[in-house]
Amino acid sequence: MTFRIYICLTFIFYLIPWTHTMSPEVDHDEPGFFFQNDYYQVDFYPTYGYIEGEYWVVPVKYYVYEQRNYIESIVTSIFSLFRSLSSEESEIFRSRLQYFTADSESREQVEFVFDHDPEEEKFQLQDTDGETVRTNLNGIGRGNFQIPLKKAEDLYRYQPSESEWLTLRVVSPDHFGKGKIRLIQPEGLSVISDIDDTLKISELPAGSRIAASNAFFKEYIAAPEMAELFQQWDQAAIHYVSGTPRQFYRPLSEFLLSAQTGFPQGTFHLRNVRKNPLSLNTWRDLEDIISAENVTINHKIEHIMQIMQDFPKRDFILVGDSGQHDPDIFREVREMYPEQVREIFIRDIINDRKHNPERLEGMTVIPAETIVEGVSQFN
């Protein structure tokens, strides 16, 4: 089945004509999910701000695209030729395809304002050279913007919610979208957590066939007792850092942050999977989507280190699982930042506590059901 998914995704990325269409669906309440004809959609990935001098510096990544819902139906029908899908599996598959079939928009500049700001001050991202950011060939815009400390205080007063998150909306011509940021104080407790097999049962050690099936066709299942653990850190800033492709952000965040699942709001730092045929790295990224064995170690290390550098006075708890590289990554991070890492939690899904205990030395082990290669606990 892995090969079949590979062929299907190849069809999505390269063989389907890049025509434009927008969904007529409207959702005024969910950030990033308002669709309107002739508008490019902008999805902001929830992020944070840190203090530098007299400003809050906010690193931002957003995605600009057009939705192509008809392609989801075409691809689902084509895939059904390879595998018999139940009606439930077909619906899940279609919903998870949304951001793989979306038409990424390059060279776009995005302006945004904070909700309820009486000045309606417009912000744009700047790159490291101080130039205004435009989206790349994959529709991604990435850079920083700054908010004066006094302006941030005023924004919290203007916005009616008592939440620590500030909300914003896109106002540049021909764009629509919403986002949110959390301005995090220099001192306090932060939690950096993996997602797959840490908070959600993905069964990556079972192999690519099973992991791909869980990713594209199955309802998500929360890892037992992990939400309760996070609820003990109710005053902490949460950062979800995962090798999961960013195209899964929407269904993944809706699942994790739902009242039923119970994980807290946090920033999201997911792996970018390129799908522009002009990029030489696209084929490698496509293979990584379905291999489920090659978690991007560099992605995790880069983002964890960046967060810790942005908050050098905060204490950190690192949460992951034993299935792939989290213990090794976290040990390296602790060696580099021994004064900041307070504790490491590892959900042990391959029984390292028995077969390889030295790998988990100095870490708080959370026993879990052992995942065996080639065997799914859901069958």
Q: What is the DSSP secondary structure assignment for residue 327, as one 8-state letter? A: H
The encoded tokens of residue 92 equal 């899940």
Q: Tell whether the model's pLDDT for residue 190 goes beyond 70.
A: yes
The predicted pLDDT at position 258 comes to 97
Helix (H, G, I), strand (E, B) or coil at 360: helix
Structural domains for the chain: 31-67+102-183 (2.60.40), 189-367 (3.40.50.1000)
Nearest Cα to Cα of residue 40 among 187, 208, 177:
177
Q: Are 39 and 67 in contact (CB under 8 A)?
A: no
Q: Tell whether the model's pLDDT for residue 214 goes beyond 50.
A: yes
Query: What's the rounded mean pLDDT across residues 333-352?
Result: 97
The Cα angle at residue 327 between residues 287 and 285, in degrees rounded to 5: 15
Q: Tell whether the model's pLDDT for residue 9 goes beyond 60.
A: no
Pairing of strands 165-170, 237-245: unpaired
In the structure, what pLDDT confidence band is assigned to residue 200 with cuts at 50, 70 and 90?
A: very high
51 contacts: CB under 8 Å, gap ≥ 6: 57, 149, 185, 186
The more confidently predicted of residues 253 and 13 is 253
Query: What's the rounded mean pLDDT across residues 120-133?
Result: 96
Query: What's the rounded mean pLDDT across residues 10-35?
Result: 42
The encoded tokens of residue 65 equal 């695209």
Name the phi and psi angles at 96, rounded to 5.
-80, -15
How does the average pLDDT of the chain come out, rounded? 85
pTM metric for this prediction: 0.87
